[in-house]
Amino acid sequence: MRINGQHYRTIWLAQDGWRVVVIDQTRLPFRFETVALGSAEQAADAIRNMVVRGAPLIGATAAYGVALAMRVDASDAGLEAALALLGATRPTAVNLRWALERMRRVLASHEPSRRCEAAYREAAAICDEDVALCRAIGEHGLPLIRSLAAGKQAGEPVNILTHCNAGWIATVDWGTALAPVYLAHDAGIPVHVWVDETRPRNQGAGLTAFELGGHGVPHTVIVDNAGGHLMQRGQVDLVIVGTDRTTAQGDVANKIGTYLKALAAHDNGVPFYVALPSPTIDWSIGDGLSGIPIEERAGREVTHAVGLAEDGEVRAVRVVAPGSATANPAFDVTPARLVTALITERGVCAASGEGLAGLFPEIAGGAAA
Ligand code: MRU
């Protein structure tokens, strides 16, 4: 995707050929700054502190984190230590575990002296594949938007509501939930996106709005609680969100607040789609409510909001009365029964074991719980 006319992915190698450059998402949309990661520890910190975020990009960064670790210690013990360090950063996005298991499998088949080179190669492959997966999600989601557009008056936009950020900066490029939106916009289909602000970290207000604006997609930022009201008034044609972990039976974990949007969509007959690349499927879990670990983040994300102060600095300000307790579950689980369909790189399917198995028979057959 483009920023100020220049094409970017979210992760790339520095000029030196070994450090890993990422866009610092804690500074967006106010500052466009990049950070060069030079060690597995720095990669782990970037994931933990959400310098990078979004399930696919977390996986890609972790893969490169392993490559950085292999520069220092490519022994079996060094590999296991790096996998453990990176694997402990964020618990919900299963892409992290998927990427690390893939790195372990590939590197275990190499002598330590060959592991560093192999790790960089594999991390680059994960990134390239993610771009292709996301683009394919866009192509499979596009007809859903096109068919809604067909029922509109000429020039009237399809209104799409999204939560959090599942756009190109949450992936290596294109995004998941936003990939169909970009393709629809590029195809000349009028679209308008309702962007949930997504407290506590405001990924919608800060990141989704930044992306959509950069690509010229009409959008309106709304507070998290506005979606149900808009649906009741017929102002939302469909919802598309991303996911951090989808179970083998189609339950979906995504940013906190997604479940409430699914409930409102269900009550109002608004289609609720979830877009995901297959590395986001956890084939080992059936029931998402009992099986998906939900990350609990620091209370400071609730007590404080980050924004651009009037002096031009990016600052945190307190928004909660001092002394109040906080709770900060970062994700919730939307049961499959509330999901109209899943949009994957292989097509659109029912959010169910049968639906997923139909698209991924070679994996589902062996792994589903
Ligand atoms: O906590 P975050 O910002 O990493 O949460 C991100 C989301 O919830 C996204 O919707 C999800 O990772 C899908 S990204 C394509």
pLDDT digits (tens, 9 = 90+) for 100-125: 999 999 999 999 999 999 999 999 99
- Output the ligand 1 site: residues, CB below 6 A: 53-56, 93, 164, 166, 170-171, 175-176, 203, 242-244, 254-255, 330
Choose, from 196, 237, 244, 251, the residue flagged as catalytic: 244
Q: Determine the average pLDDT of the residues in 88-100.
A: 98
User: Is the model's pLDDT at 73 over the cut of 60?
Assistant: yes
- Output the CA 167–ligand 1 centroid distance in Å: 9
- Output the CA 199–ligand 1 centroid distance in Å: 13
pLDDT of residue 367: 61
CA dihedral 122, 85, 287, 139 (to 10 degrees): -30
Give the atom of ligand 1 at the shortest distance from the alpha carbon of 177. 15
Distances (CA, A) of 40 to 50, 92, 268: 15, 20, 47
**The two three-digit tokens of residue 1, written as one number:** 């995707």
**Which residues have C-beta within 8 Å of that of residue 188, sequence separation ≥ 6?**
none
**Which residues have C-beta within 8 Å of that of residue 107, sequence separation ≥ 6?**
66, 70, 74, 79, 115, 118, 119, 122
pLDDT digits (tens, 9 = 90+) for 354-363: 999 999 999 9
- Tell me the domains of the chain and their CATH numbers: 2-129 (1.20.120.420), 138-368 (3.40.50.10470)
pLDDT of residue 38: 98
Work out the number of other CB atoms within 10 angstroms of the CB of residue 352: 18
pLDDT of residue 262: 98
User: Is the model's pLDDT at 337 over the cut of 90?
Assistant: yes
**Which residues have C-beta within 8 Å of that of residue 174, sequence separation ≥ 6?**
1, 131, 134, 135, 137, 138, 168, 182
Q: Determine the average pLDDT of the residues in 38-65.
A: 98
pLDDT digits (tens, 9 = 90+) for 280-311: 999 999 999 999 999 999 999 999 999 999 99
Rounded CA separation 20/86 (Å): 15
pLDDT above 90 coverage of the chain, percent: 96
Active-site annotation holds for 282: no
Work out the number of other CB atoms within 10 angstroms of the CB of residue 354: 11
Record the pTM. Answer: 0.97
Give the atom of ligand 1 at the shortest distance from the alpha carbon of 93. 12
pLDDT of residue 368: 44
**The two three-digit tokens of residue 135, written as one number:** 């683009």
pLDDT digits (tens, 9 = 90+) for 21-34: 999 999 999 999 99
